Amino acid sequence: MLEHIASVYEKLEHENKKRDLQSIPDWTAYQNFVQDRMQNSACITLSHMYMSVDASSAAVDAVKTDMCHVLQMGEQLKAVHGGSFLDSILEIDEIVGRLCMTILYT
């Protein structure tokens, strides 16, 4: 899971270097939101080794909720901005999808 979270951070950084997305307020908000949710999920994942079985279920649900919120915000921005940073959002969605598959099958 941490590998996928790191991939999201790398993708965001790559997109900022590749294109001038910092001038688009919605991209900045999206980037900050995604980073916040990834940081939260990483903290949950790292603390997982100290959790009881009962707490583990709640932690997995929290990570799933974070990933759903990231996907929802991406969908909203795709509808509003169309092509301006559509590829970037789709690539982040793909990484988040892989992260969700890791949650489901581990």
What does the DSSP 8-state code read for residue 22? Answer: T
CA distance 4 to 32: 17
| Token pair recorded at residue 11 | 């993708």
pLDDT value at residue 64? 86
Give the confidence band of 50 by pLDDT, cuts at 50, 70, 90: low
User: What percent of the chain clears pLDDT 70, i.e. is strictly above it?
Assistant: 89
- In this prediction, residues 46-69 reach a mean pLDDT of 77
CA distance 89 to 82: 10
